[in-house]
Amino acid sequence: MNSDVRQKIIRTFLNNKTAPVGFCISVLVIAVCLSAPLLPIQDPIDHSMVNRFRPPSSQYLLGTDNLGRDVLSRMIWGGRLSLLVGVLSVSFAMVLGTMIGLIAGYKGGMIDSIIMRVIDVMMCFPILILGILLVAALGQGLSSLIVAIGIAVTPRFARLCRGSVVSVRENDFVEAARSMGMSDMRIMFRHILPNIMGSIIVMGSLWVGAVIITEASLSFIGLGVPPPAPSWGRMVREGMEFLSHAPWVGLYSGLAIFLTVIGFNLLGDGLRDILDPKLRR
């Protein structure tokens, strides 16, 4: 990539008022949560019946919950979990969905029809319902959760990818590449894929937010990662009961979800501006 292209990208990103904000929030959240083991915070599962429901103080910056666990620490560790699930599930869905979409879109015909009908059926179910079904099937635990949510989100990526492939494959340079004797695989991965990556990446960043909420919802109904592992969803769930007299238990996690999802959404908008060649010119 030559330097004037690079400069244009940075300029476009900064032109979008909210994208840099989103970028900062996302980076901040990721940095803080990923460095959880290194931060000087309490053990998130160390409970202490003596210190239950302590309001925010110098010792417990965000207070303690119903089992005396430090809310701040649980929030950071919980964020780590949520982000892990968010990023890994979306990556899983992105890779799998892109493969499926590429094949369906490029080959067309019967393969395309069959694949898209299956996708259509899967898309009838809301993500949360699919997530519940898959977790029930795969059992509880972090890896099954990631796979379950990943599978639930895959159809959306497959559909987006397939649509993009169908429009890009009509381009002259695809025919020109074919006339140069390039094989189908090479055309799919080298000529078509880079031209559709933009919209897929944007969708990815937007879905990280949605997946975090899904994980929070699953934890809320008890299907997420089993306790005592902290998770934003579970903390909001548990905090609900004590909202009147100890709001800090659930409130901050709720805020964290809100902020993180907004951060990723704004980042996604910024990415869309950069990656959409028309806006960039």
Partner 1 sequence: MGKEQKEVIKVTHLRTEFHLPEGFVRAVNNINFTIHSGETLGLVGESGCGKSVTALSMMRLIPDPPGKIVRGEILFEGMDLLQLPKNRMQKIRGSKIAMIFQEPTTSLNPLFTIGNQISEVYTEHMGYNDKKAWDRSVEIMKQVGIPSPKQRAHEYIHQFSGGMRQRAMIAMALACNPSLLIADEPTTAVDVTIQAQVLELMRDLQDKSGMGILLITHNLGVVAEMCHRVIVMYVGQAVEEADGDAIFDEPLHPYTRGLIGSIPFPGRKSLMGKKTLEEIPGMVPSMFDLPKGCVFQPRCHEAKDICEEQVPKFVEVKKSHSVACWMAHS
Which residues of the chain form contacts with partner 1 (CB under 8 A)? 2, 5, 171-173, 175-183, 186, 190-191, 194-195, 277
> Closest CB to partner 1 among 65 and 112?
112
> Closest CB to partner 1 among 40 and 277?
277
Give the nearest distance from C-beta 3 to partner 1 in angstroms: 11
| Cα–Cα distance measured from residue 217 to residue 15, given in angstroms and rounded to the nearest whole number | 35
Give the nearest distance from C-beta 174 to partner 1 in angstroms: 9
> Closest CB to partner 1 among 128 and 177?
177
Give the nearest distance from C-beta 104 to partner 1 in angstroms: 17
Give the nearest distance from C-beta 184 to partner 1 in angstroms: 9
SS (H, E, C) the chain: CCHHHHHHHHHHHHHCCCHHHHHHHHHHHHHHHHCHHHCCCCCCCCCCHHHCCCCCCCCCCCCECCCCCEHHHHHHHHHHHHHHHHHHHHHHHHHHHHHHHHHHHHHCHHHHHHHHHHHHHHHCCCHHHHHHHHHHHHCCCHHHHHHHHHHHHHHHHHHHHHHHHHHHCCCHHHHHHHHCCCCHHHHHHHHHHHHHHHHHHHHHHHHHHHHHHHHHHHHHCCCCCCCCCCCHHHHHHHHHHCCCCCCHHHHHHHHHHHHHHHHHHHHHHHHHHHHCHHHHC
> Closest CB to partner 1 among 4 and 244?
4
Angle at 218 between CA 213 and CA 224, to 5 degrees: 115
Give the nearest distance from C-beta 194 to partner 1 in angstroms: 5
> Closest CB to partner 1 among 36 and 197?
197
Strand-pairing partners, residue 64, are: 70
> Closest CB to partner 1 among 17 and 278?
278
Give the nearest distance from C-beta 202 to partner 1 in angstroms: 16
> Closest CB to partner 1 among 12 and 73?
12
Give the nearest distance from C-beta 105 to partner 1 in angstroms: 15
> Closest CB to partner 1 among 74 and 272?
272
Q: Answer yes or no: are the C-beta atoms of 44 and 74 closer than 8 Å.
A: yes
Give the nearest distance from C-beta 206 to partner 1 in angstroms: 23
Handedness of CA 138, 142, 143, 149 (dihedral sign): positive
